[in-house]
């Protein structure tokens, strides 16, 4: 552990710089994935044909290895932060899109009709009925997407996007356990933190009547 500590505090290794790059890359990719996934999921939820196409394309996107995508976009976008962000955004969209679509489709039309019957406006229906029912499901998709992005962003180092992947690749090349741990440990910690925080967010967004109570 002493060697690992010395590696981290050594200014020549720019550990803080790589940390900020990694967090920035994951954050930017996650935000874009949320924006695109939610909009697309909501857009296709009322159109069976578009929903079929979107769901199947999302499944195909999840099946494509991220390394293959990075290699594919390399001739067009080059090296660095931008292509890595695009690749990670593509990776993060499917869980959010699918959960948004599932959440909206899961709302019974009878509930909407009943709300209209008691005089609720469209805005009230969205904010007081649809949003509370859909947001926890979207949050679950965001949690899955975020953890996937954090765990996969190390591969961005392949196209010189920086981050903890630089240490892992260098460590593998030099057979240096210290560098590998310097990259792998913070990634695991970030993924764990994201999982815990987003789990709490999902629970907070779930209406009290829908929460599953654990029996002790």
Task: Tell me the CATH number at 195.
Answer: 1.10.3720.10
Q: What is the pLDDT of residue 211?
A: 60
Say what the pTM is: 0.84
Alpha carbon distance 171, 197 (integer Å):
30
Q: What is the pLDDT of residue 209?
A: 62
Number of domains in the chain: 1
How many helices (H) and strands (E) in the chain? Answer: 10, 0
Mean pLDDT (the chain) is 84
Alpha carbon distance 127, 123 (integer Å):
6
Domain-located, residue 104 = yes
Give residue-wise pLDDT tens across range 75-90.
777 788 888 898 889 8
Q: What is the pLDDT of residue 215?
A: 38
Domain-located, residue 216 = no
Q: What is the pLDDT of residue 160?
A: 80
Alpha carbon distance 86, 29 (integer Å):
7
Domain-located, residue 120 = yes
Domain-located, residue 22 = yes
Domain-located, residue 214 = no
Alpha carbon distance 157, 182 (integer Å):
14
Look at residue 164 and give its three-state secondary structure: coil
Domain-located, residue 191 = yes
Domain that holds residue 201: 2-207
Alpha carbon distance 197, 49 (integer Å):
36
* Extended beta strands in 26-138, E state: none
Alpha carbon distance 80, 74 (integer Å):
10
List, for the chain, all residue ranges whose pLDDT scores fall below the cut of 50: 213-216
Q: What is the pLDDT of residue 212?
A: 55
Q: What is the pLDDT of residue 90?
A: 87
Give residue-wise pLDDT tens across range 47-86.
778 878 877 877 777 767 777 777 777 777 778 888 889 8
């Amino acid at each position: 552990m002493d060697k690992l500590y010395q590696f981290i505090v050594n200014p020549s290794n720019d550990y803080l710089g790589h940390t900020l790059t990694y967090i920035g890359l994951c954050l930017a990719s996650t935000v874009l994935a949320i924006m695109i996934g939610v909009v697309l999921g909501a857009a296709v939820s009322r159109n069976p044909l578009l929903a079929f196409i979107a769901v199947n394309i999302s499944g195909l996107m999840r099946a494509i290895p991220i390394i293959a995508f990075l290699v594919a976009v390399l001739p067009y976008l080059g090296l660095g932060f931008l292509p890595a962000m695009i690749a990670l955004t593509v990776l993060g969209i499917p869980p959010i899109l699918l959960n948004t679509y599932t959440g909206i489709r899961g709302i019974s039309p009878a509930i909407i009709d009943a709300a209209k019957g008691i005089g609720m406006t469209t805005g009230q229906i969205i904010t007081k009925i649809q949003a509370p029912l859909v947001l926890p499901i979207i949050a679950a998709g965001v949690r899955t997407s975020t953890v996937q992005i954090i765990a996969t962003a190390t591969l961005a180092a392949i196209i010189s996007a920086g981050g903890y992947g630089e240490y892992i690749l260098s460590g593998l090349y030099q057979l240096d356990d210290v560098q590998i741990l310097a990259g792998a440990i913070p990634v695991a910690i970030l993924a764990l933190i994201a999982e815990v925080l987003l789990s709490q967010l999902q629970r907070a967004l779930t209406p009290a009547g829908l929460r599953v109570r654990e029996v002790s």
